[in-house]
Amino acid sequence: MSDIIYKKDYVPETMQIIEVYQSSGIKRPIDNVARIEKMYVNSNIIITAWENKKLVGVARALTDFSYCCYLSDLAVRQEYQSEGIGKQLIEEVKKAIGTTEEISLLLLSAPNAMEYYPKVGFEAIENGFIIKRKK
């Protein structure tokens, strides 16, 4: 396997993103291409992982670059999981926000990923609330 290259603020083709979502198992509205495009156009931080010209992972975040950053998406193709790509995508997001001394990095985890995030430095919290989207 070739070296993985990480790119900041490069938006891949929407179908490449959808392929990563499908392979990774992350639940996103992959049948709505326009919605996926809008998700990326309106994100503050986009980090991508590439093997040659193949998109193998994505991280997408929303932030004010001052107080908090929400890691909205972290997805790695299934065949590339457990190789440290997700962890490195998180590290690249942390670099992009500048510091976790002053900026909190938070996320919502899929139930099957709850054991992963403590392994890469996240702490579980109990004081969160959500108004869920309808679709």
Range of the domain at 62: 5-119
Other beta carbons within 10 Å of 124? 9
26 and 89 in contact (C-beta within 8 Å)? no
71 and 106 in contact (C-beta within 8 Å)? yes
Residue 130 lies in a domain: no
Residue 89 lies in a domain: yes
Residue 74 lies in a domain: yes
- pLDDT band (50, 70, 90) for residue 133: confident
Residue 125 lies in a domain: no
46 and 36 in contact (C-beta within 8 Å)? no
Mean pLDDT within 15-22 = 95
Percent of the chain with pLDDT over 90: 70
Mean pLDDT within 35-60 = 96
Residue 115 lies in a domain: yes
Q: Is the pLDDT of residue 95 over 80?
A: yes
The CATH number linked to 50 is: 3.40.630.30
Q: What angle do CA 42, 82, 74 make, to 5 degrees?
A: 10
C-alpha distances (whole Å) from 29 to each of 7, 57, 72, 122 are: 24, 17, 13, 26
Supply 106's token pair: 């938070």
Q: How many CA atoms lie within 13 A of 126 on its CB side?
A: 0
CA nearest 32: which of 42, 46, 18? Answer: 18
Q: Among 40-54, 80-94, 116-130, which stretch is predicted with the lowest mean pLDDT?
A: 116-130
What pTM does this model have?
0.90
Residue 126 lies in a domain: no
Percent of the chain with pLDDT over 70: 98
Name the domain count of the chain.
1
